[in-house]
Amino acid sequence: MHFNHPSGLQFVQYEDALAVNIFMQTLARDLKMALRNPSSFLNPLLFFVIAISLFPLAISPEAHTLSNIAPGIIWVTCMLAVLLSLNALFHTDYDNGVLEQMVISHHSLPLLLLAKITAHWLLTGLPIVLLSPLLGAALFLDSESIGVLMLTLLLATPSLSLIGAIGASLIVGIKNSGMLLSLLILPLYTPILIFASSAVSQAQYDLSISAQLYFLASILILSLMGSPFVSALALKTSLE
């Protein structure tokens, strides 16, 4: 019953403060490292922009055609860009041994991984959300659909980082594992792809999109609750 004891309560608060502290430290470290080596997070973003801008050249520059296929194009490209960035999520820390120190640390490993996943989203998912209105407009999406596109991206890109982390932690330590990662992760991404792109398509015809948004939100909550723990387990197994 140490929760009722004043000193016990202080102890619990101290532990909480430590947990918040190590989370922020890990997040700040990952962001700092990425900003000092910008190609690590700029490459997937460049891929996102370049791949989308190629579609009008290959298919048709006509507004009607492009706006019809825009939700699919943007969402598929977003997924591939995230997939491209996932390889680096744990690889560098694995190669230099920091991951070992994280695993044996007495801090909660899921918490440390959640910090890394948050950094990954801030560097990949968030820029994609911010770039999407520009690319949506380039593909002749109307302003309302662009709003929905941003909303679906905002709801679902964190899930992409979270689910991706499970795959990335399973393949850590395996050389040339890009293809394996796609095989592991893309099937798990498909529900997100289906609901998100259908939400944008439906919005173009002024149909209700609440069902899709609820699905995306529930996937986000599920992956937020499960992914750090599953990734931690997978990492421990991979490191053995």
Partner 1 sequence: MSELIVNELNCQRGYSALFSRLSFSITSGEILRISGANGSAKTSLLKILAGLSSPESGSVAYNNHAVGSSEYQEDIFYLGHLPALSPELCCQENLGYLSQLQGDNAGDKVRDALIAIGLKGYEYEYAANLSAGQKRRVVLASLFINKAPIWLLDEPFTALDSDGIAILEEQINKHSRSGGICILTTHQDCNLSNMRTLSL
Interacting residue ranges for partner 1, rule: CB under 8 A: 18, 21-22, 25-26, 29, 32-33, 36-37, 92-93, 95-98, 100-107, 112, 239-240
When the beta carbons of 106 and 175 are compared against partner 1, the nearer one is 106
Helix (H, G, I), strand (E, B) or coil at 40: helix
- The helix, strand and coil proportions of the chain, stated in percent and rounded to the nearest 5, come to 85, 0, 15
When the beta carbons of 114 and 146 are compared against partner 1, the nearer one is 114
| CB of 236 vs partner 1, minimal distance in Å | 8
94-102: long-range pairs with CB below 8 Å, 24+? 94/172, 94/173, 94/239, 99/172, 99/235, 99/239, 100/239
| CB of 117 vs partner 1, minimal distance in Å | 17
| CB of 20 vs partner 1, minimal distance in Å | 12
Classify each residue of 111-129 as buried b or exposed e, where b means 16 or more C-beta atoms within 10 Å of its C-beta.
ebbbbbbbbbbbbbbbbbb
Rg of the chain over all Cα atoms, to the nearest angstrom: 20
Helix (H, G, I), strand (E, B) or coil at 206: coil
Q: Which residues contact 121 (CB under 8 A, 6 or more apart)?
A: 157, 158, 161
| CB of 10 vs partner 1, minimal distance in Å | 17
| CB of 41 vs partner 1, minimal distance in Å | 12
| CB of 98 vs partner 1, minimal distance in Å | 5
Distance CA 124, CA 59 (A): 27
When the beta carbons of 92 and 204 are compared against partner 1, the nearer one is 92
Q: Could you tell me the CA-to-CA distances from 154 to 17, 24, 159, 193, 217 in Å, in that order?
A: 29, 22, 10, 13, 10
When the beta carbons of 25 and 208 are compared against partner 1, the nearer one is 25
When the beta carbons of 102 and 200 are compared against partner 1, the nearer one is 102
Distance CA 26, CA 19 (A): 11
When the beta carbons of 112 and 123 are compared against partner 1, the nearer one is 112
When the beta carbons of 62 and 95 are compared against partner 1, the nearer one is 95
Helix pair 126-138, 39-58: axis angle to 10 deg: 20
| CB of 46 vs partner 1, minimal distance in Å | 20
